[in-house]
Structure 1
């Protein structure tokens, strides 16, 4: 098992990580890298407006994403996951193999 810093390094290396202590089955994190967003890709009108105003592309910064479930149990993706203090202090992080 790993410390939080080791889990972050694994994310940077393209690995998926999880915590043994998480209640939800199958939950894990991955790092979505930065990407140039093009206006024609946008389904979100507010984002599309910003991209168009920026000349047709804008940088989407990298972010940590979580595969999780919503309140009804449906599978869901959380973009921009933030670690709790418990997450950062625990040493039960695991690298998932593909």
Structure 2
């Protein structure tokens, strides 16, 4: 059995014919210059910082368009688990 030539895959796209971990590293968009630097901060500053004791509500926008918060939770669960064979289960908050 012969080993494949190591130069063979140099022109290949990272998501084609390589391991899943390499595909996960592929950028969806152009990589920003500041993200390439090792001296870059671990996180960007928020445009509008939260007040002391306030928590970010990722469902706030969906609650406005849904009938109620329970409906928004169900929609979020469906989006986050798609495609999946497991049914979505949202805990009823009373």
- TM-score normalised by the chain length of structure 2: 0.24
TM-score normalised according to structure 1 size: 0.23
User: Higher strand fraction: Structure 1 or Structure 2?
Assistant: 1
> Which structure ranks higher in relative contact order (CA pairs < 8 Å, sequence separation ≥ 6)?
1
